[in-house]
Structures are given as C-alpha cells and as structure tokens.
C-alpha cells in the first residue's frame, strides 16, 4: 500500500510505500476510494492536538470498499462500500461508553490522529466504526459527510430545535449543516470573515436567509449558534447574537483563546457548550438520512500524492466546501 505519512509534527507529509496490512479480530481492511481533508488534519500536522501517534497517516473522512475481513466481524461483506469516521475505536467498558456517551470514551482511538487514517490506498478500521454507505452518491461527494457532516449533525442536535440558527465559519461543515437545517425547516444566518463576499454568496446559494460578517448582528436574535471556525474571538460575538435562553455550540476540536467578555452576554440563561466527536448512533442516523435530505457537497478533488497541496489550500481558504483526496 501507499500512504501520505506525517513522520514528524510540523513537517510535510511524505509519500511512503508500506507493506499491506491484515485486519485483526473485529477489524476490516478498506480499499480507500476517497478521503476528505478536514481542518482537524491541519491541527494534527501542526501539532495543535496533544500526543498524536507519529508516524501517522492522517485522514478521517474515508470512503472505500471492504477488501478483507478479520475474524468475528458480522454484518459487513466484501466489496461493500463503507465510511470510516473520526472516532475509530472506543473501549466499551468505561463509564462514558456504558452511559451512552461513547463520544467521550476514556480510552478512544481517533482515525488519522491516534490510529492510521485514510490518506492512503488502504486502511484498517474497527468494523464497529465502519458505516455502510449504500450505492447512492459518488465516493468523492460522500467523503465530507464522514466528519464535516457528522460533527455538524451532532452540533445541530445539541443546538436544540430553535428555528433561527446562526453558523459561524462557512466551510466544509457549515455548507452541509446549512442544507440539513433548511431541510428541517430552520432559517440559517451565515457569518463569515468580515468582507468575505464570496463565502457569503456561497452561503446564500445554499439557502442561508442572511449572510454577513462575524462582526455584524443578525436581522433578528438567534435561537442558537454553532461556531465551526477556530477563532475564540467568535464566542462573545455569538453570545451577543443569541436570544435569552439561547445556546452557543462550539463544534471545533481546537480553538484559539476565548477573550474575556462582560457577564451580561451570558446572563439570561444563555448557554455555551462544546461538541466532541460522535457516537455510532450519530453516524447511523445521519448517514441513513443523508440521501433523503439530498445533501449536495461541494468538493475540490486532489490526487493522493497532492495531500500537502490540499492542506495548504485548506489553510489558505482557497476553495469553497471541502477538499477530497481521490485515490
């Protein structure tokens, strides 16, 4: 197999030939067809997340077909198309796993961070964390659903049922969430970098009722806001934009420092929460519903050996929607 490998944090990924790997008990081998490039991959490469497994093959929005099955795997078959997400393993026995919060597992493994991911021609996955994708939709179009879509889905659920939703940062996740929110009958306000007319136009094309800079106030107070961007400065801005009792959800795995803000922004039962990872049920629910919602992802393809370029373009904001490595 071939892979783009991060050998040292802070350096470029290197094209590497590796011996084929065999799936162990409870595992499958997936021949990768497409793998989305997520901002979390940048955090891994940049060393912004603690204790990555190095060397590591990044990538946790994997779409591919099963080409080997380990012992004890049930319900999956050779040739089946599956998606492999960020959460790659949970222990099943810690208090969080037992309590229905496996997304907070004490001993998890994360695809592309603490276990090898999908910037490769093949990957080994825990069969419990491989979601059947069916045959509707192209590999490249489905890849962003595995993280941007799934984290967005969980964030949307945690934001509550309010009709007026704000999205701060209009990248891969928000462009999917906006479509889901519209399908649920919500009204979406999209907040981008001030002056980013292209991103605002992109948001309006995807059904946003209003789009403006993050320094602007929405036309009406929001029921809830989800922050996908990594700037902690957005937290007080989002709190300012939600109504009494409203909720602000931080959806990113990493954020810059949150500045101090006047208590009155939190007063009146406004809530500030974060969303971490996903449960298998999130994956099953969302991926089952995705074809019905008719989500259209906007993707920019790169060959596997151009992964460094894809990361650089993501960092610089050179495309709308999501970058996907096509293997």
37 binds Zn ion (CB under 5 A): no
Question: Cβ closer to Zn ion: 114 or 271?
Answer: 114
238 binds Zn ion (CB under 5 A): no
Closest by Cα among 232, 204, 225 to 320? 204
293 binds Zn ion (CB under 5 A): no
Selected range binding Zn ion among 34-42, 180-188, 228-236, 318-326, rule: CB under 5 A: 34-42
Selected range binding Zn ion among 77-85, 96-104, 283-291, 302-310, rule: CB under 5 A: 96-104
Closest by Cα among 1, 134, 120, 128 to 62? 120
275 binds Zn ion (CB under 5 A): no
109 binds Zn ion (CB under 5 A): no
97 binds Zn ion (CB under 5 A): yes
Contact 35, 327 (CB under 8 A): yes
94 binds Zn ion (CB under 5 A): yes
Contact 168, 226 (CB under 8 A): yes
**The pair of three-digit structure tokens given for residue 13, joined into one six-digit string:** 């990924």
Q: Cα 103 vs. chain centroid, distance in angstroms?
A: 14
Find the binder of Zn ion among 27, 40, 187, 299 (CB under 5 A): 40
Closest by Cα among 248, 208, 209 to 228? 248
Find the binder of Zn ion among 9, 91, 201, 276 (CB under 5 A): 91
- Shortest distance (Å) from residue 281 CB to Zn ion: 15
224 Cβ partners below 8 Å, 6+ apart? 159, 160, 162, 164, 165, 166, 242, 246, 247, 248, 249
- Shortest distance (Å) from residue 284 CB to Zn ion: 18
Question: Residues touching Zn ion: how many (CB under 5 A)?
Answer: 8
Find the binder of Zn ion among 147, 173, 235, 249 (CB under 5 A): 147
- Shortest distance (Å) from residue 172 CB to Zn ion: 8
Residue 318, phi then psi, degrees to nearest 5: -85, 0
How far apart, in whole angstroms, are the C-alpha atoms of residue 258 and residue 227? 12
Contact positions vs Zn ion (CB under 5 A): 38, 40, 90-91, 94, 97, 105, 147
């Amino acid at each position: 197999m071939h892979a783009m490998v991060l050998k040292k944090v802070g350096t470029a990924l290197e094209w590497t030939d590796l011996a084929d790997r065999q799936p162990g008990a409870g595992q499958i081998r997936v021949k990768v067809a497409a793998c989305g490039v997520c901002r979390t991959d940048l955090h891994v490469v940049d060393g912004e997340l603690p204790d990555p497994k190095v060397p590591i093959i990044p990538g946790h929005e994997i779409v591919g077909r099963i080409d080997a099955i380990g012992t004890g795997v049930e319900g999956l078959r050779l040739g089946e198309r599956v998606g492999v997400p960020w959460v790659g393993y949970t222990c099943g026995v810690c208090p969080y796993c037992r309590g229905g919060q496996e997304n907070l597992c004490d001993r998890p493994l994360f695809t592309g961070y603490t276990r090898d991911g999908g910037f490769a021609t093949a990957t080994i996955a825990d069969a419990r964390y491989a979601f059947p994708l069916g045959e509707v939709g192209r590999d490249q179009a489905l890849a962003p659903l595995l993280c941007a879509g799934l984290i967005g889905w969980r964030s949307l659920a945690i934001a509550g049922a309010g009709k007026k939703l704000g999205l701060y940062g209009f990248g891969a996740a928000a462009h999917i969430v906006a479509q889901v929110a519209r399908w649920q009958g919500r009204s979406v306000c999209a907040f981008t970098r001030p002056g980013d007319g292209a991103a605002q136009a992109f948001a309006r094309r995807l059904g946003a009722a209003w789009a403006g800079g993050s320094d602007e106030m929405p036309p009406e107070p929001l029921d809830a806001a989800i922050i996908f961007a990594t700037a902690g400065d957005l937290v007080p801005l989002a709190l300012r934009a939600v109504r009494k009792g409203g909720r602000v959800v931080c959806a990113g795995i990493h954020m810059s420092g949150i500045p101090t803000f006047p208590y009155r922004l939190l007063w009146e039962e406004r809530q500030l929460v974060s969303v971490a990872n996903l449960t298998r049920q999130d994956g099953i629910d969302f991926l089952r519903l995705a074809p019905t919602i008719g989500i259209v992802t906007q993707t920019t393809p790169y060959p596997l050996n151009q992964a460094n370029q894809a990361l650089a373009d993501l960092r610089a904001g050179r495309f709308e929607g999501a970058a996907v490595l096509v293997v």
